[in-house]
């Protein structure tokens, strides 16, 4: 079927069809005429944004400007308007982001570069300021605003280079430009630096005031003004200015802390407390932090009882029960009510229906309490629960890292602590723990750096400062130690520990006039503790300046004075025994006992003096009487053990040691003594077990670590697990200069296949312990391992010649085998260094003193 293409339509219908087509076409034309281009729509949003700005509706204006970018991401005017709105509202980050987008799209736009440079300068982003200022100079070097930027850039560079002449020249140029731009903050900043450098405080006052007028929302201007007022010592103005700063920036915690410190420096703690009460009263109910700050201040100023009363008041008035009941439990815990405090915290946690970081903080506090009460398992359970809820919880991570350090999982500890410091870079506790981790890892430089950071983050608190100073003093870095102590003493001028540390630093320098100044200050404080510290420093000064005889004479003077106490006389006896004046020590000890027959310290001193004078029966009677009266006192037990060991009766000494441990179980000094005895008697496994026990209790002890690692490396060298354990324990000995430790660390490196790295350690050990044959043999074995055959022959022969008759052991056997191979090399060995298997050293490679010490404290150093 086909269709007729000529198509004849009804005229009426055809007319209707034409009319319909005309209408459709007209409608289509109207539709096309009413459809706006994308650019036109974008411009409409932009114009709407401008109108809303004129009406003061900034929030909606921002929405309209952002709508522009949905249609046209390169709309210059809208992007710039949005950037300026953010800048006017003080939203610097958002403003900078918008300007930066403009700079990417329009790299030669001068106003954008100027804006970016000024914002970067205000934000103290030096590299960004340099980048944008340099580009502005390239675009329009003659523009006066650009000249200001360039001058500021040059002045900043001269300041960093400490070029005073160049700074002075540039400051004069700033004076010239300021004639045209008197209110330019960048120029005023340079002029302010010029006024401060020349001591023109009036001009500095005018300039800081003007900067505040020009930039009332810039916190840096308030800091500059505060510095000027402090320089002028205008205390009323300082107080008013800090109040104004807090009013302008209510969230500025630094200004609040500064005001409290100002009141304290003026001797007005009541004003500081009133201010903290203002903050606590004004805080919303969901912000208990100001109330907690008030409680801590009251504790510092008026003691725990006052603080506890403050907590009771806050709780009664509806304060956050989680925080303040926990604080109250903490005070109970400190007061010895440990069970009650733990029960209270558990009750607090039972009332928490939805865990929060605040409740997790409480759980961590509970864990710390459990640690102190010896419930390590309970503490770990609490920490595990916290980390299961929030893997990044700082308090829980710090506790976990401390446990990891104790068990030598240093890498795990470092990872945890980095997570904490990512959240809070100034966390002093985390920084101190990081120092512990790197100390354990044998990274002394990193450990020192983190100790320094911890001291700074703590505000130069005594604890963190003293840890840093101890490290610096051990390395004889006296000047940095002084630099660390002085800021801490400015905050706590009467702190005895800080003063004594400073005195020791001056003795170490040596700087005797300043050491005498510290001694004078301690005597001015006048407490018994301060006087004792002064006496110790004076003794050190005399020994350093005038020698041992002068120091001993000083002790005698102290001990024979009418008001001399027992401590002074005991100090003299110890010094006399140490210097061989045993008869004189015996005389003083007898006089002390005659004056006070019941004095245990005097009777103990008499027993020691009798032993030093070879009157062993009398000494033994003295010590046995002391043991009978007080069986759990380790000192007389240790003295009896030493007497038996001196007489060569090792089984008798061990029996006495076991009796002492029965009376004082797990006493670390008695365990230490037993480890030495069983080792000398050849029971190495028992010695290792004791050192493992001591290490589990105090893995921070470098002496215990050395002895444990040395025994493992010496007697278990063929056991990979034992060598790995020794390696982990001994990591902290890296860079050591203590001969015994050098032998341990070097020998372990050799066992791990790095004989070349071991060599300098063993060379130092052999030089520092020339009378120890095993140390000499270790060196010879390692020399052979690195191909120093001639030196090895001589060294091995030297060590073997030093051996006592009949002494054998695995190291001795290995040394003889190596020497034999060196003297009679096989033909295959002629072209290469002699391969030396890692030998299993002998029984003398590690350790404690040959005899247990009478002093209950372990020896100051481990020996090999």
Q: pLDDT for 764-797, tens place per residue?
A: 999 999 999 989 999 999 999 999 999 999 999 9
* 34 pLDDT tier (thresholds 50, 70, 90): very low
- 796-839: pLDDT as tens digits: 999 999 988 777 767 788 888 999 999 888 765 444 444 444 44
- 344-376: pLDDT as tens digits: 999 999 888 888 888 999 999 999 999 999 999
pLDDT at 36: 63
pLDDT at 4: 37
> Identical fold at 38-168+175-224 and 709-829?
yes
* Strand, helix or coil for residue 588: helix
Q: Per-residue pLDDT for 19 more than 50?
A: no
pLDDT at 580: 82
Residue 203: exposed, middle, or buried by beta-carbon count in 10 A (0-12, 13-18, 19+)?
middle
pLDDT at 385: 93
Q: Look up residue 478 and give its two tokens.
A: 């006296």
Rounded to 5 degrees, what are φ and ψ at 561?
-65, 155
CA distance 539 to 504: 11
Where residue 836 falls (left for φ over 0; alpha for ψ -120 to 50; beta otherwise) is beta
pTM of the model: 0.69
pLDDT at 747: 94
* Strand, helix or coil for residue 847: strand
Q: Per-residue pLDDT for 2 more than 70?
A: no
DSSP code at position 733: G
- 497-530: pLDDT as tens digits: 999 999 999 988 888 889 889 989 998 988 888 8
Number of neighbouring beta carbons within 10 Å of residue 460: 20
* 96 pLDDT tier (thresholds 50, 70, 90): confident
Nearest residue to 761 via CA among 777, 776, 780, 741: 741
CA angle 665, 670, 671 (to 5 degrees): 80
* Strand, helix or coil for residue 811: helix
Torsion of CA 685, 691, 695, 696, to 10 degrees: 50
CA distance 50 to 57: 10
Torsion of CA 142, 147, 150, 156, to 10 degrees: 160
DSSP code at position 804: P
* 842 pLDDT tier (thresholds 50, 70, 90): very low
The sign of the dihedral angle between the CA atoms of 462, 468, 474, 478 is negative
* Strand, helix or coil for residue 575: helix
Percent of the chain with pLDDT strictly greater than 90: 39
Number of neighbouring beta carbons within 10 Å of residue 547: 11
Span 648-659, mean pLDDT?
93
- Write down the residue that tokens 């610096």 correspond to: 472
Span 25-42, mean pLDDT?
54
The secondary structure of 509-564, three-state, reads CCCHHHHHHHHHHHHHHCCHHHHHHHHHHHHHHHHHHHCHHHHHHHHHHHHHCCCC
CA distance 326 to 332: 10
CA distance 744 to 714: 9
Nearest residue to 670 via CA among 685, 684, 690, 695: 690
Q: Per-residue pLDDT for 296 more than 80?
A: yes
CA distance 401 to 434: 9
Distances (CA, A) of 51 to 58, 76, 291: 10, 17, 46
Q: Per-residue pLDDT for 242 more than 80?
A: yes
Q: Which of 85-94, 554-563, 583-592 is least confident? A: 554-563
Q: Let me know: does 818 contact 780? Beta carbons within 8 Å.
A: yes
Question: Strand pairing partners for 863?
Answer: 847
What does pLDDT average to over the chain? 84
* Strand, helix or coil for residue 427: coil
CA distance 97 to 567: 70
* 553 pLDDT tier (thresholds 50, 70, 90): low
Q: Look up residue 516 and give its two tokens.
A: 């005498």
| Cα-to-chain-centroid distance, residue 669 | 30
Nearest residue to 393 via CA among 363, 372, 350: 363
CA distance 513 to 456: 28
Q: Look up residue 248 and give its two tokens.
A: 């302008």
pLDDT at 855: 37
Span 232-254, mean pLDDT?
87
pLDDT at 862: 35
- 108-125: pLDDT as tens digits: 999 999 989 888 888 888
Number of neighbouring beta carbons within 10 Å of residue 448: 20
CA distance 440 to 462: 23
- Write down the residue that tokens 């030089």 correspond to: 767
pLDDT at 419: 94
Q: Look up residue 404 and give its two tokens.
A: 């990891």
Q: Look up residue 208 and give its two tokens.
A: 């800081």
Residue 140: exposed, middle, or buried by beta-carbon count in 10 A (0-12, 13-18, 19+)?
middle
For residues 858 and 187, the model is more confident at 187
| Cα-to-chain-centroid distance, residue 150 | 40
Torsion of CA 460, 464, 467, 473, to 10 degrees: -10
Q: Under CATH, which number does the domain 709-829 receive?
A: 1.25.40.10
CA distance 276 to 285: 16
DSSP code at position 863: B
Q: Per-residue pLDDT for 24 more than 50?
A: no
CA distance 118 to 96: 10
- 696-723: pLDDT as tens digits: 988 999 999 999 999 999 888 888 999 9
Domain boundaries in the chain? Answer: 38-168+175-224, 709-829
- Hey, which CATH number is domain 38-168+175-224, 1.25.40.10, 3.40.190.10, 3.30.450.20, 3.90.950.20? 1.25.40.10
CA angle 497, 503, 509 (to 5 degrees): 135
Q: Let me know: does 807 contact 826? Beta carbons within 8 Å.
A: no
Distances (CA, A) of 358 to 46, 175, 324, 382, 391: 46, 55, 11, 14, 15
CA distance 391 to 386: 8
pLDDT at 248: 86
C-beta contacts of 541-548 below 8 A and 24+ residues apart: 541/507, 541/512, 541/515, 541/516, 544/507, 544/510, 544/512, 545/512, 548/579
pLDDT at 839: 40
CA distance 243 to 459: 23
Nearest residue to 153 via CA among 175, 130, 170: 130
């Amino acid at each position: 079927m086909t269709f007729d293409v000529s198509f004849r339509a009804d005229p009426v219908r055809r007319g209707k069809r034409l009319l319909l087509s005309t209408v459709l076409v007209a409608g289509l034309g109207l539709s096309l005429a009413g459809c706006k281009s994308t650019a036109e729509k974008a411009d409409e949003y932009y114009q709407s944004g401008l109108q809303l700005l004129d009406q003061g509706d900034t929030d909606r204006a921002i929405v309209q400007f952002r709508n522009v970018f949905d249609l046209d991401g390169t709309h210059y005017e809208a992007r710039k308007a949005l950037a300026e709105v953010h800048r006017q509202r003080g939203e610097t980050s958002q403003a900078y982001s918008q300007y930066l987008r403009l700079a990417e799209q329009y790299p030669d736009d001068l106003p954008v570069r100027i804006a970016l440079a000024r914002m970067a300068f205000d934000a103290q982003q030096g590299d960004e300021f340099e980048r944008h200022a340099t580009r502005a100079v390239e675009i329009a070097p003659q523009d006066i605003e650009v000249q200001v930027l360039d001058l500021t850039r040059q002045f900043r560079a001269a300041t960093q280079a400490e070029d005073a002449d160049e700074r002075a020249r540039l400051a004069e140029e700033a004076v010239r430009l300021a004639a045209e731009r008197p209110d330019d903050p960048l120029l005023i900043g340079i002029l302010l630096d010029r006024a401060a450098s020349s001591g023109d405080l009036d001009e500095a006052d005018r300039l800081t005031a003007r900067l505040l007028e020009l930039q009332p929302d810039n916190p840096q201007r308030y800091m500059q003004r505060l510095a000027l007022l402090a320089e002028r010592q205008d205390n009323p103005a300082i107080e008013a200015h800090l109040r104004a700063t807090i009013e302008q920036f209510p969230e500025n915690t630094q200004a609040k802390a500064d005001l409290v410190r100002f009141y304290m420096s003026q001797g007005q703690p009541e004003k500081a407390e009133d201010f903290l009460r203002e903050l606590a009263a004004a805080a919303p109910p969901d912000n208990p932090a100001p109330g907690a700050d008030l409680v801590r201040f009251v504790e510092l100023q008026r003691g725990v009882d006052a603080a506890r009363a403050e907590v009771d008041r806050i709780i009664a008035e509806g304060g956050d029960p989680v925080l303040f009941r926990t604080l109250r439990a903490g005070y109970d815990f400190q007061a010895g009510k440990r069970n009650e405090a733990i029960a209270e915290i558990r009750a607090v946690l039972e009332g928490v229906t939805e865990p929060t970081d605040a409740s997790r903080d409480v759980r961590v506090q509970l864990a710390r309490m459990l640690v102190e009460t010896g419930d390590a398992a309970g503490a770990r359970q609490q920490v595990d629960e916290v980390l299961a809820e929030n893997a990044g919880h700082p308090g829980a991570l710090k506790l976990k890292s401390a446990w990891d350090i104790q068990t030598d999982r240093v890498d795990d500890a470092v990872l945890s602590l980095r997570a904490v410091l990512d959240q809070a870079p100034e966390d002093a506790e985390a920084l101190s723990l990081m120092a512990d981790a790197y100390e354990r890892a044998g990274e002394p430089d990193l450990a020192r750096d983190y100790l320094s950071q911890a001291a700074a983050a703590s505000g130069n608190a005594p604890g963190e400062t003293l840890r840093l100073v101890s490290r610096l003093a051990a390395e004889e870095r006296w000047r940095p130690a002084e630099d660390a102590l002085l800021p801490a003493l400015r905050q706590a001028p009467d702190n005895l520990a800080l003063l004594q540390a400073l005195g020791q630093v001056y003795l170490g320098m040596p700087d005797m006039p300043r050491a005498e100044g510290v001694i004078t200050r301690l005597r001015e404080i006048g407490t018994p503790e301060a006087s004792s510290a002064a006496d110790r420093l004076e003794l050190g000064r005399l020994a350093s300046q005038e020698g041992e005889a002068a120091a001993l004479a000083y002790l005698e003077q102290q001990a024979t004075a009418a008001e001399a106490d027992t401590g002074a006389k005991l100090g003299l006896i110890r010094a006399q025994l140490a210097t061989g004046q045993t008869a004189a020590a015996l005389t003083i000890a007898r006089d002390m006992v005659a004056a006070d027959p019941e004095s245990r310290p005097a009777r103990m001193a008499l027993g020691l003096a009798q032993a030093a004078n070879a009157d062993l029966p009398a000494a033994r009677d003295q010590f046995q009487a002391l043991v009978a009266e007080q069986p759990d006192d380790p000192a007389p037990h240790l003295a009896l053990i030493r007497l038996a060991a001196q007489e060569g009766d090792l089984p008798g000494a061990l029996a006495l040691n076991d009796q002492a441990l029965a009376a004082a179980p797990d006493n670390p000094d008695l365990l230490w003594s037993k480890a030495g005895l069983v080792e000398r008697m050849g029971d190495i496994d028992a010695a290792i077990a004791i050192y493992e026990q001591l290490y589990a209790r105090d893995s921070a002890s470098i002496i215990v670590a050395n002895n444990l690692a040395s025994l493992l490396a010496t007697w278990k060298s063929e056991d990979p697990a034992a060598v790995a354990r020794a390696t982990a324990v001994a990591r902290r000995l890296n860079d050591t200069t203590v001969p015994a430790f050098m032998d341990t660390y070097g020998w372990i490196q050799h066992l791990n296949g790095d004989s070349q790295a071991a060599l300098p350690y063993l060379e130092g050990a052999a030089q520092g312990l020339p009378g120890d044959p095993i140390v000499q043999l270790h060196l010879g074995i390692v020399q052979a391992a690195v191909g120093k055959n001639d030196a090895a022959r001589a060294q091995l022969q030297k060590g073997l010649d030093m051996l006592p008759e009949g002494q054998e052991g695995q190291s001795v056997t290995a040394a003889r085998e190596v020497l034999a191979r060196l003297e009679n090399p096989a033909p295959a060995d002629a072209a290469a260094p002699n391969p030396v298997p890692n030998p299993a050293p002998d029984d003398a490679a590690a350790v404690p003193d040959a005899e247990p010490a009478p002093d209950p404290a372990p020896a100051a150093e481990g020996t090999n």
